[in-house]
Structure 1
Amino acid sequence: MTSLLPRTRTMFPGLTEWFDAAWPFGERNLVRIEEVAAEGEYVVRAELPGFDPEKDVHVAAENGMLTISAERQARKEEKGRSEFRYGSFSRTVALPRGAETAKIAATYHDGILEVKVPVAQTEATGQIEIPVKKD
């Protein structure tokens, strides 16, 4: 959602974040994602700049759901201010039917996590022919 208030010169800077939150008091999605369904593959891309993918990022698939979680530890600074967000972040999306969770692959490049899930082709559904027996 685009904020209705300008981010610069705001008398109450925290107020702009409140307007950007899910309405009215829902969870903030701090991990932004893209989902693309292509033939034979489902791809989820997540913006995770500044995370160490080997230590801070986890991907899990269970019960038809894909969960991407990450954690950023706060650093103690004596002076100054920070608008960085610290703590645990998580997003969960439903996997498509036929998702082969044992073959999921993930890569991380330039702050973007890309998770590729192979999807088995399912048989087409449609009209079923009914043979008629003739006496």
Structure 2
Amino acid sequence: MNYKANLSLHPWWIQGILLLYLLLGLPLIVSLVLLIIGYNVPISLYGITSVEGSSILDVLLIILVGLKLLVGYLSLTGNNYAKQFAIIDGSIGILCCLFTGFIWPFIEGDQSVDLVFRLEMIVLIPYVVYFVRFKSKQ
């Protein structure tokens, strides 16, 4: 099954997300260089923020942003694995949003627990559904 290398296969909102992934993934390269030479670079995604520069959390956030860059690049070049990586990326994003919105407030130990609905979920759920359907059509 041949996956065309054209973004026009996707609706406008998917095209926008994929191009946004490419644009937001490019600073990742600069951040990696700065982290290697010893600067602390704040990284944030899905409400998870890290400023230490050398923690496990930083590595996980870099991997998540790198996955988004990979999804954008594979979709742009028309690679067959783009659909699978997009589903994995969206699923991880949904899990991260659920964790930061509903589980992390209880772990954090604050006296007042504020449950937060992450707005990213409004886009992530249709994103995953679209790529699952798109994958099954191919």
TM over 0.5: same fold? no
TM-score range, shorter chain: under 0.3
TM-score of the pair, normalised by structure 2: 0.24
Q: Higher Cα Rg: structure 1 or 2?
A: 1
TM-score of the pair, normalised by structure 1: 0.25
Structure that is richer in strand per residue: 1
Of structures 1 and 2, the one scoring higher in RCO (CA 8 A, sep 6+) is: 2
Structure that is richer in helix per residue: 2
